[in-house]
Structure 1
Amino acid sequence: MFTGLIQALGNIKPLDGDSWEITCINKSADVILQDIAYGDSIAVDGICLTVDRILDDGFIATASPETVRRTILGRESSHQRIVNLEASLRVGSKIGGHFVMGHVDGIGQLLTSTKTATSWEMTFTAPDAIARYIVPKGSIAINGVSLTVAEYYPETRQFKTAVIPITYTDTNLQYLSSGSWVNLEGDILGKYVEKFVTGNSPHQIAENGDTMGINPAFLAENGYL
């Protein structure tokens, strides 16, 4: 589990087979490298990858075919690029962003990035699999960065975020241009709420043995509406 607060930047390049070499490149790399161990989980552009081998200035990880297919690894695997890095959350650590699982739901695309007096306003597209979890003032992870949705446009499945300077300059969001692909992960809380509300989870068993989902009728009967 991660928080979406990026700790370092790195270069990623594909190796033979399904392996990837990640090299830390900035001064904060010690946060990643100081206690890295074989088998650790590291979020690489929001993708939870497992450390297979430790290098002097980075590590090597393996990505499954499913991970490559679902993320931008499958679209930008032929060249080296800069990625966001975050070590997994430790017990007792501060949670400054939101709960990020490192399980990318799909790929979006940057439409526009406009600098304002106080931030960069960035507008992205989102596939249906993620768009249903996007709500104004809700959380979303873009390349592993925890961001707040400023506006959502359901007709076009587009959303806007306001990225503050420290987040912009400390992450690879600064290197994106119109048309760039990004990894997107919806808020885990929204996914569970959807599952319960739509009745897709047998969380409750009726007296006759039937499963019951949380729906408006159930909430009204129990005093919530």
Structure 2
Amino acid sequence: MIAALPMYDAGAGTAEAMWLALAAALRAAGVNHVPDTLTLPDNLLSHWRDPALLLSQTCGYPLTHALAGQVQLLGAWRYRWPGCDGAQYRSWLIARADDPRATLDEFAGATLAYNSDDSQSGYHSLRRLLLPHDIGSFFGQTVATGAHRKSIAAVRDGYADLAAIDCVSYALLAQSAAAELDGIRIIGSTPQTPGLPLITSLHTSTEQLTRIRVALQSVVGHPALAAFGIVGFEALPLAAYPV
């Protein structure tokens, strides 16, 4: 079996420490074939679709689109960060601190930086906020950066004017590399949506899936998870995620 924690970064060594805590909880709950170490996937879609997947974290948009019918949903973490409410989270709309524009409407024709077009937090949450407009017609130019951190840098350094940044990613960056947010301000937010889904393979049995959920609940409160701001786990139905 394989596992990965590919979505959030709380600093060097934190993902490995979190996995040690999770692996111990999974074994204590009776989960079979728990790997000792994390996989570092080169291709996330291939990783998420791997029939040997025990545990990973994806994004809400791939869950209901590219991964539809190909994985099982376990639930989502609850985070303590601003912008989170239970298992719900939102994205912050960020601009340069010296940019006089203060509302999203004022950024019509501006340059948007986004991590990827399959990202719920960086792209589709903003797309829904702009309805009936679409991103291509509202913004003058769009720049795909590949990561929230790179989108922040693009705005800060003047290559873009606006970005939608997952509030957990923003908080973790403020905690571990606050200087990267110098010259950035929040001008608004997107509506809340269920947090990043924790998933397992379609081949995971119902019994093992239940045991994984028990383990995820039991490990809450461990210092390795607290480093990520995790304060709970919630089993969510697939219908909770927007299509």
Give the structure-1-normalised TM-score.
0.24
- With a CA cutoff of 8 Å and minimum separation of 6, indicate the structure with the bigger relative contact order: 2
Give the helix-richer structure, 1 or 2.
Answer: 2
In our comparison, the structure showing a higher alpha carbon Rg is 1
Give the strand-richer structure, 1 or 2.
Answer: 1
Give the structure-2-normalised TM-score.
0.23
